[in-house]
Structure 1
Amino acid sequence: MSAQRILLVENIHTVAKERLEEEGYKVDLITHAPSEDELLKILPNYDVLGIRSKTEVTKKVLDSNKHLVTIGCFCIGTNQVDLLTARERGIPVFNAPHSNTRSVAELVIAEMISLSRQLGDRNTQAHLGEWVKSAVGSKEVRGKTLGIVGYGHIGSQVSILAESMGLKVLFYDVLKKLPLGNAMVQNSLEDLLRSSDFVTLHVPETPETKDMIGARELSMMKKGSFLINASRGTVVVIDDLVKSLQEKHLAGCAIDVFPEEPASNKEKFKSPLQGIPNVILTPHIAGSTEEAQYAIGLEVAESFRRYLKIGSSPGAVNFPNVDLPVKQGTSRILNVHRNEPGVLGEINGLISKAGANIEGQYLSTDEKIGYLVMDLHSSQAHTLAADIEKLSRSIRTRVVY
């Protein structure tokens, strides 16, 4: 196991490297987001890949690197990975859905106040030597209505913080969610847009959320309201947002994510939103606090450790979740196979033929694959695993101890 090599890209917090090296793994850390061509060149040297939001792990990359054991997204989103192909190759993909929740929520609250007080413009003017002391258009957020689209981990945290500041909170989610505090669920996105002074978006990138906020939706928002997007860049039609701002329908916006973003800090950033009054633009930093990146590094590193060492897969977004306690004095074989009738019988037949005694066995499946974890009393675990690997419907098999 100590020979396995891990590549961490996009300047993942060094705590992940430290923790994994403590486990005996060889870890390399690079600061940029590798292109597809670069991944094709360097990944044959690694068994595990850790990325953030910029690195695209495509079907071509996965097809050319079938040896990869697992992939970790050191962030919330996983849409940058071809999850279906990874599953077909028996590669679980882990993420960190909880670690940056507070950081994103705090930024949303800060941006809401900043927009309402026009702090971005006042700051820029003061730096330019202009003294614009005026209350015109500057308002408190207390007593206003915040509409939250997507009431998951982040949306619900924003809800709690906003209500403590005296805002009325509405939310809309395609899934049934339990309201926190006095937050009130809305029957439709349209109802929320029409009723809110601030609208904040906290949805994943899916075909359903692509261009979810366009000219039609923006026109439904109250005149003089504000839009905040710290979710995914494809959710808002930027050209339509620009028009709404230029026509003074919206009073401002804060955007942290964009349809196209620079791959590194060395590249220039361009957006049609630049130069428009009361528009706050931030470089995808909602979850980028030292506390959040440290916690994310620990969370995904632990997922790697548990999967590589004992085969535990809870938290994998594209893979059956199995967490079988370790049994002392046994060998553990892991097998990923196509989910078809008779596979378990074939595997157990090989185990019986080898005279091995099964101490623990757990099979979990989805519509495409099955994941089998077995603890055996056998001195021939590696030989048995090789035989299981040869079965026509096996995808990958390994022995972890």
Structure 2
Amino acid sequence: MKEQGNTQHSLLKILIALLLLAAAFFGYRHFFPARVVTVGFIYDNDETAPYSYNFYLAQETVQKTYQDKVRTVMCSNVLDEHIHLAVEKLAAGKCDIIFTNSYGNIRDLAPRYPHIQFCQASFDPVPKEAPANYHTFKGEVYQGRYASGVVAGLKLKEMIQKGKIRPEEAKLGFVAAFPYPEVISGFTAFLLGARSVVPQTVMYVKYTNIWDSYTLEKACAEELLEEGSVILSQHSDTVGPAIACEESYAKDVYHVGYNIDMTDAAPHTSLAGTRINWTPYILGAVKAVMDNKPIEKTVAGTVHPNQDMSAGFKENWVEMTRLNTAVLPEGAQEQLKETIQNLRDGKVQVFRGDYTGVNPNDPKDTVDLRGGFTENKDSSVSSFHYILKDVVTVLQ
């Protein structure tokens, strides 16, 4: 009996050893599968639309980077008022973290799903005592706007030097969706970038009062060109303004894009562009959930109150799109590189100069930029909402 017991004991030891060898051979995860994090995305538009496309690029990068460690799911064309339906669907699909570019009220939905982290592209300052599982984020895109403005200014300088325009004809046009701080901050930074090269530069702005309307954006662009603008840019969601410039390229007009590379749409007139790169934040936030760590302590960027984050060129949250070397002025690439490095190093305060800004909704609310203005100081949401006197004209 004792020998039989010893034999059984020996067989058990051999069996355990074989299992350990098998685990080493086939991999630990074959026997103990790692947790798969389910990542949800809610888009306010089709993923091919310029604004949502940038988020879709981040979604693809998440899947490519983490492979079988994650599963990504998405809901597209979600109206703000139907955001709760998309959240319900993704929550039922066992999502661990959900990202959205929608303006829908995610903040009030988050407490219903405490096991899910919600990350929303910010559009409004987060109030005090935001839910612990609600986060906001946005790139400090005024930096990209300023850099784009420098490119526009260099083109204006070239046009002046070649006698194509006089200094007093250095006019920018801007197709703007709404008179929101995010939009005003952007076109002001664009103008200030241009004026750092050509101080006589002025800007004309035309609002569409809608985010995406190809027909209306193109019509506003055409009106700006008729008003004498020689370089256009935009904060709107279609290539309408780029097409308007391309159709008028014989008149020596140019375009600076936003959100996506517009060179293919305007090969003769597109100079450059800028966009928010959502990937660094989204990759970092997913990694935080995978490692069961706080998002704000995992992602590189500036942390504001209430789980809010922002960053610019330094953390690659903002980047330039393709430069069209066929129409860029000589030396523009080098100058742009230097400008971006100065922005990375904090050597440029964009909103500074001998300017007075006026709140379009309250003329008594003004700002003197001789003392400077720090954008995104306390929030990822843009706060500069002033129209610069004498150099910016809003067309009705």
The TM-score, its normalising length taken from structure 2, stands at 0.38
Greater radius of gyration (CA)? 2
Which structure has more RCO (C-alpha within 8 Å, separation ≥ 6)?
2
The TM-score, its normalising length taken from structure 1, stands at 0.38
User: Which one has a larger percent helix, Structure 1 or Structure 2?
Assistant: 2
